[in-house]
Amino acid sequence: MSHHIVVPRRTVLAGLGGTALASSLPLGIARAASDAVVGFIYVGPRDDFGYNQSHAEGAAALKKMEGVKVVEEERIPETVQVEQTMESMINLDGAGLLFPTSFGYFDPYILKEATKYPKVRFEHAGGLWTDKDPKNIGSYFGYIFEAQYINGIVAGYASKSGKLGFVAAKPIPQVLQNINAFTLGAKLVNPKATTQLIFTGDWSLPVKEAEATNSMVDQGIDVITMHVDSPKVVVQTAAQRGAMICGYHCSQAKLAPEAYLTGAEWNWTGLYPKFVSMWMKGESIPNFYRGAFKEGLIKQSPYGPKVSDEARKRADDVKAKLTAADYVIFKGPLQDNTGKTVVAAGSELIQTNATDEQLESMHFLVDGVMGSLPA
The residues that touch another protein, with contacts defined as CB under 8 A, are 3, 5-8, 11, 14, 18, 21-22, 25-27, 29, 39, 45, 71-81, 84-85, 87-89, 91-93, 103-104, 108, 126, 170-174, 201-202, 360-361, 374
Q: Work out the number of other CB atoms within 10 angstroms of the CB of residue 248.
A: 33
| Identity of the residue, 7 or 33, whose beta carbon is nearer to another protein in the bound complex | 7
DSSP string covering 64-124: TSTTEEEEEE----SSHHHHHHHHHHHHHH-EEEEEE--GGGIIIIIHHHHHH-TTSEEEE
| Identity of the residue, 202 or 310, whose beta carbon is nearer to another protein in the bound complex | 202
| Identity of the residue, 84 or 347, whose beta carbon is nearer to another protein in the bound complex | 84
- To the nearest whole angstrom, how small is the minimum distance from the Cβ of residue 328 to another protein? 22
- To the nearest whole angstrom, how small is the minimum distance from the Cβ of residue 11 to another protein? 6
| Identity of the residue, 128 or 224, whose beta carbon is nearer to another protein in the bound complex | 128
| Identity of the residue, 36 or 253, whose beta carbon is nearer to another protein in the bound complex | 36
Q: β-strand 121-125 against 194-199: which pairing, if any?
A: unpaired
Q: β-strand 244-249 against 223-227: which pairing, if any?
A: parallel
**271 forms bridges with which residues in the sheet?**
none
Task: Round to whole Å and give the CA distance between 195 and 175.
Answer: 14
| Identity of the residue, 70 or 155, whose beta carbon is nearer to another protein in the bound complex | 70
- To the nearest whole angstrom, how small is the minimum distance from the Cβ of residue 67 to another protein? 18
- To the nearest whole angstrom, how small is the minimum distance from the Cβ of residue 127 to another protein? 9
- To the nearest whole angstrom, how small is the minimum distance from the Cβ of residue 289 to another protein? 17
CB 143 within 8 A of CB 295: no
DSSP string covering 196-223: EEEE-SSS--HHHHHHHHHHHHHTT--E
Q: β-strand 348-349 against 330-331: which pairing, if any?
A: antiparallel
Q: Work out the number of other CB atoms within 10 angstroms of the CB of residue 140.
A: 25
SS3 of 22, please? Answer: helix
Integer angstrom CA distances of residue 109 from 71, 113, 131, 360: 19, 6, 17, 23
Which residue blocks in the chain are alpha helix, DSSP H? 9-24, 51-63, 80-93, 111-116, 145-158, 173-189, 206-218, 232-240, 268-280, 309-323, 357-360
- To the nearest whole angstrom, how small is the minimum distance from the Cβ of residue 221 to another protein? 26
| Identity of the residue, 29 or 345, whose beta carbon is nearer to another protein in the bound complex | 29
- To the nearest whole angstrom, how small is the minimum distance from the Cβ of residue 81 to another protein? 7
- To the nearest whole angstrom, how small is the minimum distance from the Cβ of residue 14 to another protein? 7
| Identity of the residue, 129 or 157, whose beta carbon is nearer to another protein in the bound complex | 129
| Identity of the residue, 123 or 367, whose beta carbon is nearer to another protein in the bound complex | 123
- To the nearest whole angstrom, how small is the minimum distance from the Cβ of residue 307 to another protein? 31
SS3 of 366, please? Answer: strand
Q: Work out the number of other CB atoms within 10 angstroms of the CB of residue 265.
A: 22
